[in-house]
Amino acid sequence: MAKAKKKAAKPKKKATKSRKKVQQDLVANMKAWRKVEIASIASTGRVMEQTENPIVRLVMEIIQRDSHMHYRVQGWIADTLEGKSVSLTPDEVGAVWGMIEDHIKLEKKTLELADEALKAIGGAKGMLIQSYLLEYLMEDEKKHNLLLERLAAVQKGMYPYG
């Protein structure tokens, strides 16, 4: 293999985005995302108005409530980037850690029960609605468990981006 005469020019270091630019971009993203959540809330409402089916209505309501929470969380993210001071320190989490640990036990129990319920259904016919809703519950409980696992990482001072 012929050796290249000239050393290939080092790729230019990617200009690191300034902290201010990162903040501005994130705020713009949160604002755009909030608009989508508002559209989602309206859209789920329209579907609910058009159907009497209780399962479709239930699913739309789940999404609508989640969209409300997403909207609030995006607001929090944007506010902190625009100067609102909020802290999340190992000490603050540590102050209620005992209670959170008790709560984690509850969340683990829900996973066991969801798992048992799904196993009980197995591949049984005629259980479409039940397995559809149980799978939703299982995913949601996994999400609660993961949120708390990450909070545990904050408590131990092991969460990156600190």
Cβ neighbour number for residue 34 with a 10 Å cutoff = 19
Residues 56-115 that bind Fe ion (CB under 5 A): 67, 70, 107, 110
Q: Which residue has the tokens 């290939």?
A: 8
Distance CA 160, CA 162 (A): 5
Interface residue with Fe ion among 58, 144, 151, 153 (CB under 5 A) is 144
Rounded to the nearest whole angstrom, what is the least distance from the CB of residue 45 to Fe ion in the complex? 15
Rounded to the nearest whole angstrom, what is the least distance from the CB of residue 36 to Fe ion in the complex? 7
Closer residue to Fe ion (CB): 71 or 93: 71
Which residues neighbour 25 within 8 Å (Cβ) at sequence distance 6 or greater? Answer: 17
Closer residue to Fe ion (CB): 93 or 138: 138
Helices (H), the chain: 19-50, 54-81, 90-95, 97-121, 128-155
Q: How many residues bind Fe ion (CB under 5 A)?
A: 6
Closer residue to Fe ion (CB): 110 or 131: 110
**Residue numbers at the binding site for Fe ion (CB under 5 A):** 67, 70, 107, 110, 141, 144
